[in-house]
Amino acid sequence: MNTNIYAQFAPILIFLIIAFGLGVAFAMIGKILSMIVGANNPSATKGETFECGFPTFGDAREKLDVRFYLIAVLFLVFDLELAFIIPWGINLRASAGMPAISDHAFLAMIIFLVVLFLGLIYAWKRGALEWE
């Protein structure tokens, strides 16, 4: 095989350029059409915050407690853990009696679980899961 490596990937590059170009073109067409066809009636009422049928009676940009973000990050970490464990468990179950999963893969997942479990214990001991 004496072909150029870049020539093999030329169709993929052309596809990506066309896809990006079409995406930009459709976005621009939509923006231009909305500017031409859409109604533009600015008023002071449209700039006000409105919630559940009532005008706001406090600051609409109230800061959230940091604990919400902490719980969200912990949720994402353990959700990602499940994204790794489920395919691994299915592969482990399918390999019952057959050496489809290696000892190295098994040990790697056990180490991964131990590290996440230690992180959970650390967060628990530091009071990250407490809500006062």
Q: 44 in helix, strand or coil?
A: coil
Q: Who wins on pLDDT, 124 or 90? A: 124
1-7: long-range contacts (C-beta < 8 A, 24 or more apart)?
A: none
pLDDT of residue 103: 79
Rounded to whole angstroms, what are the CA distances from 51 to 55, 58, 65? 6, 11, 21
pLDDT of residue 12: 93
Q: Are 50 and 56 in contact (CB under 8 A)?
A: yes
pLDDT of residue 105: 82
Q: Please name every residue paired with 55 in a beta bridge, in sequence order, or none if there are none.
A: 50
pLDDT in tens, 26-41: 999 999 999 999 888 8
Rounded to whole angstroms, what are the CA distances from 34 to 47, 49, 112? 20, 24, 51
Percent of the chain with pLDDT over 70: 83
Q: Who wins on pLDDT, 109 or 53? A: 109
**Angstrom distance (rounded) from CA 102 to CA 7:** 38
